[in-house]
Amino acid sequence: MHTRTLGQGLQVSAIGLGCMGMSQSYGPNPGDRAAMIKVLHEAVDFGINFFDTAEVYGPFVNEELVGEALAPIKDQVVIATKFGWRIEDGKSVGLDSSPERIKRVADESLRRLGVETLDLFYQHRVDPNVPIEDVAGAVGELVQAGKVRHFGLSEASATTIRAAHGVFPVTAVQSEYSLWTRDPEPEVLPALAELGIGFVPFSPLGKGFLTGTVDPSTQFSQGDVRGTIPRFTAENRATNQALVDHVAELAASKGASPGQIALAWLLAQQPWIVPIPGTRRRERLEENAAATNVALSADEVADLDAVASRIGVQGNRYNDQHMGLVGR
């Protein structure tokens, strides 16, 4: 797999791995820790060296899992983690990006991941109670102390990105982005291009919808976050199916999978975009990694853009509570 460069010279594999689903959000959590460690090892075998986790995933257990799995090769991989939540009694109870908490979380994440330096440290959600300049300053101090290499933001607005970057250089911004989530295009992506900041789309496969494995008849298990998302009601899935059908047609004509087309579309947008699809399965890892070999012509990219714009998407990507936390 070839590499791509996020802002401030951070080189990573063109496809990364979102590790959240190994510990939460997609139905019953895997009971076999060894199996998840094996998947993380297999990701490296497929050329993936960019891993995404967070203290709040679990909470805490996802960082511990990633740290244990990658310990033998920690100098050969790039691990991104995140701060920004107040966690009490094993649950997130609100945002907290106070400088004191940022520094405490950094120390705790270093311990759980078993590394000397955090490669990429994102603010998970913008905290309206803490000026972004203070957040950037706190992470800058961690960089100076050798505890963090790169500073990132997640689901931030262009205005917030510019303000943070003016205090300490931002290396990457992470937000949801895919053929059916185009929110970053009007303002965020142009700002990143101007400032030289990389972009890391999470849920690049539409939480599984763009792979064609979810349809209007799918029943989500207890604990699967998709059961709480308006976009995934049965009615909305039926409406949104038209986009997946078009992606599947193109995939069939190219001998690829629908998921590979969705990832290839993202890779074709900009050379500084690095998607991080998540999975618990070896076969999906292999499929996602191979998306880097799927070439889309300019006409095919334009066709996908046109179809996605014409069809649109029915339903918000989060419930009302979580929609209030993005785009600040």
Q: Please, what's the b/e burial string for 30-45 (b: 16 or more CB within 10 A of its CB; e: otherwise)?
A: beeeeebbebbebbbe
pLDDT at 177: 98
pTM over 0.75: yes
pLDDT at 32: 87
Mean pLDDT of 233-240: 96
Q: How far is CA 223 from CA 21, 50, 228, in A?
A: 11, 27, 9
For residue 50, list its beta bridge partners: 78
pLDDT at 28 over 80: no
Confidence of residue 67 (pLDDT cuts 50, 70, 90): very high
Write down the residue that tokens 């244990």 correspond to.
Answer: 68
195-225 pLDDT tens trace? 999 999 999 999 999 999 999 899 999 989 9
What value does the mean pLDDT of the chain take?
Answer: 96
Residue 56 dihedral angles phi and psi, to the nearest 5°: -80, -10
290-311 pLDDT tens trace? 999 999 999 999 999 999 999 9
8 A C-beta contact, residue 153 and residue 123: yes
161-205 pLDDT tens trace? 999 999 999 999 999 999 999 999 999 999 999 999 999 999 999
Mean pLDDT of 18-43: 90
Proportion of the chain above pLDDT 90, given as a percent: 96
β strands within the chain, DSSP E: 3-6, 10-13, 17-18, 50-52, 78-83, 85-88, 91-95, 118-123, 148-154, 170-176, 198-202
Q: What are the structural domains, with CATH classification, of the chain?
A: 3-323 (3.20.20.100)
8 A C-beta contact, residue 218 and residue 290: no
pLDDT at 25: 84
pLDDT at 44: 98
- Rounded to whole angstroms, the Cα distance separating 70 from 226 reads 29
Residues with active-site annotation: 57
Mean pLDDT of 63-71: 98
2-26 pLDDT tens trace? 999 999 999 999 999 999 999 998 8
pLDDT at 31 over 80: no
Confidence of residue 29 (pLDDT cuts 50, 70, 90): confident
Neighbouring C-beta atoms of residue 296, cutoff 10 Å: 18
pLDDT at 27: 76
93-149 pLDDT tens trace? 999 999 999 999 999 999 999 999 999 999 999 999 999 999 999 999 999 999 999
Q: Report the DSSP pairing between strands 50-52 and 198-202.
A: unpaired
CA–CA–CA angle 77, 81, 273 (5° rounding): 70
State both tokens at 73: 């090769």
8 A C-beta contact, residue 95 and residue 56: no
- Rounded to whole angstroms, the Cα distance separating 284 from 297 reads 24
8 A C-beta contact, residue 98 and residue 55: no
Q: Report the DSSP pairing between strands 85-88 and 91-95.
A: antiparallel
pLDDT at 30 over 80: no
Side-chain-side CA neighbours of 80 within 13 Å: the count stands at 31
